[in-house]
Structure 1
């Protein structure tokens, strides 16, 4: 017979359940930390990609695409060589950046043998991201001040004249008026003129 004074205590299974719950919570915390770490790595990768692509500022390319003469009068007479011309040129500005490029008005000058023979204004403008802007300008060219230069007379008699077009745009790339970076671009083009046909035979830009 059982001892009347013997006490019985109920068996508790709560400790085992509590340990299982605690282990599950630890696993969930580890997963959360892992997910947070992976998310941080992903954000860092996206930021790095953004810095390497979007914010990699490139210098826009400013060029003369084509040029044609509306008039071209010249005299190769010994002692009084000269020329006067009216030229229409198509300019292009290629913006390879992922943000727009804007610039104030500037000028484009044309030279013969290092001396300025004409110029015109390049109006202020802006170029959208990853696009090319095109516009036309008209310039009056005159070599009156070079009358008497032997080199000019020789070139005119040869039927070939070399002109040089140069310009500089001091602009900047801009993103939402928050991110701005100054970026200047220069034009340096050589035009070879065929005098017998009054046309540009060759056009090269650097």
Structure 2
């Protein structure tokens, strides 16, 4: 798979141009579990936008009723295609570890918005991925391959509004991220799961 043409600073300028009042994350990738995550975020009240490289993944996004970024991402970055202004966060969810790491580095330098990527499947996989920063998604011990496998086994992503007093999460679930009341995304970043606060919506995966 190609690196989607995402190799230049104009991408960052495009993604960070305007900030709307409502949270609008961009999810890059179209695997089934990523589409399910997007639907969960939409159910939490976010205006989710998705982009994927292959037509198969783009069709999957359309069939799920999610908003698909029009045109090619490179065209959007160079001003010839889709307008992607208003993005408030980027989640890089493709199955190419090096792409996720490279795109995260490029966007983080100029986007002015949070950019998170999936960590590499292992410490020795890929050329760029093992040396990226710590801005990775998923809790310790929960890999992209593990999430995809659980999805295939029927462990679907669920949401849970945190109790106003308890601030606890259901047992036997892995936290993927929290949605704060203002729409901010707080991912479980590969180091430690974030502490839920009253009013948060937790996006979780049941343990098999």
- Relative to the length of structure 1, the TM-score reads 0.21
Q: Which has the larger radius of gyration?
A: 1
Q: Name whichever structure is richer in strand by fraction.
A: 1
User: What TM-score, normalized to structure 2?
Assistant: 0.21
